[in-house]
Structure 1
């Protein structure tokens, strides 16, 4: 009986050690030029939002884009107006993880971030998983959807 328990322990320990060694498959995967372009574009978007650069954002957001926040959802025009007026000021997005999946002319970028923002005059910090959906029109990627999911743990 002792030999069986020892063997089971060894098998479980070996499996756990093996699984822990492969927890970060996204970072070990070689990314393509298009994937890197999207990750760079996503990062640039956060900077434009921080800078309140509504001219670049207005061009970058698809005409039919949608934005999902903790307090509601709306389209391109309202998002640009919210940024321009300072209703939401995306001061700093600290990106902990980022990944991209391209499916034809659509790309999905996931960003795990800690967002420092000013909302309604109050400075807040929240951990989010942000889903960004991009569509390729001609040679340009346009942001079609930006959705914030608040994480329970930072």
Structure 2
């Protein structure tokens, strides 16, 4: 005969699974929207909004190097890199827990770098962390793809 605590535990797990899946889908949607907004802010050179989105300890990995939040915001504000347009071809989100999510974008990026307009295909990895009920970008890594879309 089964223990009533075991039955209760199984019942709770069974009933909470759809809630957890629903919460995960909500987080995926929120992270996807946040990423899309980030691309628009980058295109608009909206450094102030990006500064709020970027975690204080964020890292940014580009073809030309790796740096932190302050330098990335300064580069965007000054136009050192102008992310003119990101054509997003594919988005994948993995929710690790209620405070961490990873998003991958396959994009074609039109940018102005050092005064030259360039177009490159990238797989972009974005790591988001939630602190004080606010999702912030903790890592943005550009990996250049060998093929164009």
For this structure pair, what is the TM-score category when the shorter chain's length is used for normalisation?
0.7 to 0.9
Match of 1:92 in 2: 85
Deviating above 4 A after TM superposition, structure 1's stretches of 4 or more consecutive aligned residues are none
Structure 1 residue 138 corresponds to structure 2 residue 136: no
Which secondary structure state, in structure 2, belongs to the residue aligned with residue 152 of structure 1? coil
* TM-score normalised to structure 1 length: 0.79
Mark the runs of 5 or more structure 1 residues left unpaired by the alignment: 1-29
- The separation in 2 between residues aligned to 1:79 and 1:47, in whole angstroms, is 16
Q: Distance in 2 between matches of 1:118 and 1:53?
A: 16
- In the TM superposition, residue 34 of structure 1 has moved relative to its aligned partner by 1.2
Instruction: Give the whole-Å Cα distance in 2 for the aligned partners of 1:51 and 1:87.
Output: 14
Match of 1:16 in 2: none
Cα distance in 2 for partners of 1:32, 1:83 equals: 31
| Structure 1 residue aligned with 2:119 | 125
Q: Write the distance in 2 (CA, Å) between the matches of 1:37 and 1:134.
A: 11
2:50 aligned with 1:57, yes or no?
yes
SS of the equivalent of 2:147 reads coil
Distance 2:30 2:58 in 1: 20
Q: CA deviation at 1:138?
A: 1.9
Give the TM-score of the pair, scaled to structure 2: 0.82
Instruction: Compute the displacement of 1:139 (Å).
Output: 1.2
**Residue 33 of structure 2 corresponds to residue 40 of structure 1:** yes
Hey, what does 1:3 align to over in structure 2?
Answer: none
The structure with more radius of gyration = 1
- Structure 2: runs of 5 or more not aligned: 1-21
1:113 equivalenced with 2:117 (yes/no): no
What does residue 24 of structure 1 align with? none
RMSD: 1.1
Distance 2:68 2:45 in 1: 17
The alignment covers a number of residue pairs equal to 125
